[in-house]
Amino acid sequence: MQTVSENACFGGTQGVYSHKSTACSCDMTFGLFLPEEAKDGPVPLLWYLSGLTCTHENAMTKAGAQAWAADHSIALVFPDTSPRGEGVADHEDYDLGQGAGFYVNATQKPWVPHFRMWDYIADELPALLTEKFAIDGDRQAITGHSMGGHGALTLAMNLPGRFRSVSAFSPICNPTGADWGRKQLAAYLGEDESLWERHDASIMMRKTGFDGPVLIDTGSSDQFIELLRPETLAEAIATRRQPATLRLQPGYDHSYFFVSSFIEDHVAFHAQALWS
């Protein structure tokens, strides 16, 4: 593992690190904020999964989450959204290829050699974090924005017991039911739609739900709301009687202005679960 940078931040350290990934067969980069309390022992961890076109850097520099994480003595990890580099497949469309890993393990050409973001987030990076840093692997929570909200919800519901809480900002709630999702799932996983279901938050909510608190915020003026389909997830939550808080925030769009406006709420929400 290589240290790219480390900066003092709200009494703790905001670092950026790179390492050779076995899952993705390339070098991967992630950001990690450690609060001051990590100097004395392991602290809980909140994952932040970013959306389409983002790297590890977007949320790390735009969301303003570190201030609130420091208040609650929580670490924050900002993984990249896809494999990158020479020899990694890409696409001319922004919503496929590098920057658009969709948090799945690809089974189709040309994606299969590198696009194994599910294994990277579920297995490889957690093991690295708990080995190299003062992270309490038994106290984890997860959030994300847009494609990252999709990843946060599906990982949380497919890995029971891993995360104590899950939240999302403007998540892609029903990718099997909208063009924005069907395109990527078909490209990465093939035409067998039964293989798509575990990567659809609305379907997984009906099937398994989540054993813990759920918080979801979407802006009423989100320019992608027809593709996000928040009403489908709301229906699944109601059908399952899943304890959850869903909020449609008036006037907010899909941007990081929206995320930064409500990140304090989300960090406090996860802190309550992580420290209980």
State the pLDDT confidence band at 179, using cuts at 50, 70 and 90.
confident
pLDDT of residue 65: 98
Q: Which of 72, 150, 199, 254 is catalytic?
A: 254
Structure tokens at 109: 């050409």
Is 220 one of the annotated active-site residues of the chain?
A: no
What's the pLDDT tens digit per position in 50-97?
Answer: 999 999 999 999 999 999 999 999 999 999 999 999 999 999 999 999
pTM over 0.95: yes
Q: Which ranges of the chain would DSSP assign to H, the alpha helix?
A: 57-62, 65-71, 117-119, 125-132, 147-158, 179-189, 201-207, 225-228, 230-240, 256-274
Q: What percent of the chain has pLDDT over 70?
A: 100
For 2-274, which CATH superfamily applies?
Alpha/Beta hydrolase fold, catalytic domain (3.40.50.1820)
Is 253 one of the annotated active-site residues of the chain?
A: no
User: If you write DSSP's letter for every residue of 127-143 in order, what string do you get?
Assistant: HHHHHHS-EEEEEEEEE
Q: Which of 21, 50, 146, 165 is catalytic?
A: 146
pLDDT of residue 198: 98
Contacts of 138 (CB under 8 A, 6+ apart): none
Q: Which of 145, 199, 222, 266 is catalytic?
A: 222
Checking if the pLDDT of 191 tops 90, the result is yes
Contacts of 194 (CB under 8 A, 6+ apart): none
Is 254 one of the annotated active-site residues of the chain?
A: yes
Checking if the pLDDT of 19 tops 90, the result is yes
The residue extents of the domains of the chain are 2-274
DSSP state of 170: S
C-beta of residue 171 within 8 angstroms of C-beta of residue 201: yes
Checking if the pLDDT of 180 tops 90, the result is no
